[in-house]
């Protein structure tokens, strides 16, 4: 993600029902992404016909300084179901598995679409963090080992 891509990525977050439940706005999403860019975050984007259609923000050894961590991941709501999520996840996995034997990420308990998506891609739930980010919402811990 370059500086030029940032408004489109912030718009994907702000338009998505998932982040709306966490109180994310266009301004707060842009601020978080900006801070990430300034701190050297790794944020990859998917482009379809010149438009930003999705993004993934991942951190090498970002979980327990051992596992790769997928921190933020989303596809524009009108572009779901076209394989963009799969492409972004494959990109992040290639980078993370090159360094770590496993990947960890969090999924909201109500986010069934993402849970199904991750399960299809080989992730299993290994735990849960109740009220971790929002009261009344558990963050489910998903885990995947590097395929042999």
Ligand X SMILES: CC(C)(COP(=O)(O)OP(=O)(O)OC[C@H]1O[C@@H](n2cnc3c(N)ncnc32)[C@H](O)[C@@H]1OP(=O)(O)O)[C@@H](O)C(=O)NCCC(=O)NCCS
The residues of the shown chain that bind ligand X, judged by CB under 6 A, are 16, 18, 73-75, 80-86, 105, 107, 111, 113-114, 116-117, 120
Minimum separation from the CB atom of position 75 to ligand X (A): 4
Tell me which residue of 83, 57, 52, 79 sits closest to 68, measured CA to CA.
57
| Residue whose CB is less far from ligand X, 38 or 91 | 91
Compute the least distance from the CB of residue 58 to ligand X, in Å: 12
Nearer residue to ligand X within complex by CB, 100 or 139: 139
Q: Distance between CA atoms of 140 and 148, rounded to whole angstroms?
A: 25
For ligand X, which residue has the nearest CB? 85
Tokens of 57: 């923000």
**Smallest separation (angstroms) from ligand X to the CB of 117:** 4
CB of 120 to ligand X, least distance (A): 4
Nearer to ligand X, 38 or 89 (CB): 89
């Amino acid at each position: 993600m370059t500086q030029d891509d940032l408004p489109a990525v912030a718009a994907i977050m702000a338009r998505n029902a998932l982040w709306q439940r966490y109180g994310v706005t266009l301004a707060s999403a842009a601020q978080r992404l900006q801070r990430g860019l300034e701190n050297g975050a790794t944020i990859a984007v998917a482009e379809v016909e010149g438009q930003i259609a999705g993004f993934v923000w991942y951190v090498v050894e970002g979980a327990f300084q051992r596992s790769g961590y997928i921190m933020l991941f989303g596809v524009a709501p009108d572009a779901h179901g076209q394989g963009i999520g799969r492409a972004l996840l494959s990109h992040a996995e290639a980078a993370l598995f090159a360094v770590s034997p496993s990947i960890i990420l969090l999924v909201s308990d109500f986010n069934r679409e993402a849970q199904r998506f991750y399960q299809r891609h080989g992730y299993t739930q290994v735990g849960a963090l109740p009220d971790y980010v929002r009261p009344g919402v558990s963050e489910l811990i998903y885990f995947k080992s590097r395929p042999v």
